Structures are given as C-alpha cells and as structure tokens.
Amino acid sequence: MTDRPLLLLDVDGPLNPYAARLYRPRGYTTHRLHPAIWLSRQTPGSRSHRRGLRVRLNPGHGRRLTTLPYELAWATTWMHQANEMIAPAIGLPGDLPVIEWPELFTKDPDGLYWKTRHLLTWAAGRPFVWVDDMITDLDTAHVAAHHDAPALLLRIHPRRGLRDADFATLGRWAAEL
C-alpha cells in the first residue's frame, strides 16, 4: 500500500463500453470472455454460454492508467477475474488489489448503488477516485457525507468508455490533492 490516492476501476462501462452503438469503437479490440458472474446468468450449453461475453477493450488504456499517480484497484463484479482476463488485454499488471463484494446486486435501503457502502469501507479513509458507469448523485452525496478524505466519483457513459477528457480529469484531480 502506498500514500498515493486509490483509483477504483469498474470494467463494464469505463473499460468495456458495452452500450457503444458501433460494433467496435475506434481503438478497441473485441474479446470473447467467460467471466464467472456472467456465466452464472446464462443457460448452460446455450450459444451465448459457449461463445462468451463480447467485451470491447482499448489496449492503450493500461499504459495510460499506470502513468497516473494512483494506486489502481478493481471495483468490479469481475473481481479477481479482472486481473486474469482484463488486465492482460489492456496492459495492466495482473496483481491489482480487488474489492471483494460480500453480495452482488443487493438493493440498498437508501437507494444507493449496491457497491457504494462496501467501497467506502474498503477505501478505509484514503483519498480515492471511483470510475463507474452506475454512480448517481445520491452516491456522490453519500460519499461526501461519510468519507473524510477527498473523493471523486467519476461517472463514465457506458456507450463511450474512458475518454481523453476523463484521463485529463483524473490527472488534474490527483495534481490538486
């Protein structure tokens, strides 16, 4: 662990623009992967189960992320499989810390995104940026009220994924700390 702020990364949306209108956005490559969480929701033996999940990844994102002054960690339902399947495809180390969710997709009593509370506990008072496509204003307000260190919740549109402006925001925020 370092004294650098955390950069907590979701896969689907920020790194995999799953809602992109184009079959494969410019700069991205298409992969067929079999993450456990996705497989658990497919009919065994079905065509989609056999083919795998179509994931679009930009091989340059890993280099850009590792040059930022953050300690990277996965904040995704892919959990440890992000190190096995996503990291090699985009050029990230395969041993990044992983937030292990106690339960996936649980309904929060206050309407928060299901990741928010556990993510705050995991961050343990450290400054962080959370990059995800499902963050809401309610999550941002909750983090501001319940986390004493600086935090930036960066919502990424799942049609576009991480873009140059997002990398610029990440760089500026870290520089301002």
Residue 160 has pLDDT above 70, yes or no: yes
Chain segment 5-30, per-residue pLDDT in tens: 999 999 999 999 999 986 778 899 99
Mean pLDDT of 70-75: 98
Chain segment 123-138, per-residue pLDDT in tens: 999 999 999 999 999 9
Q: CB of 35 within 8 A of CB of 84?
A: no
Is this prediction's pTM over 0.85?
yes
Write b or e for each residue in 51-68: b if 16 or more Cβ atoms lie within 10 A of its Cβ, otherwise e.
eebebbbbeebbebbeeb
pLDDT of residue 2: 67
Tell me the CATH class for 6-17+58-176. Answer: alpha beta
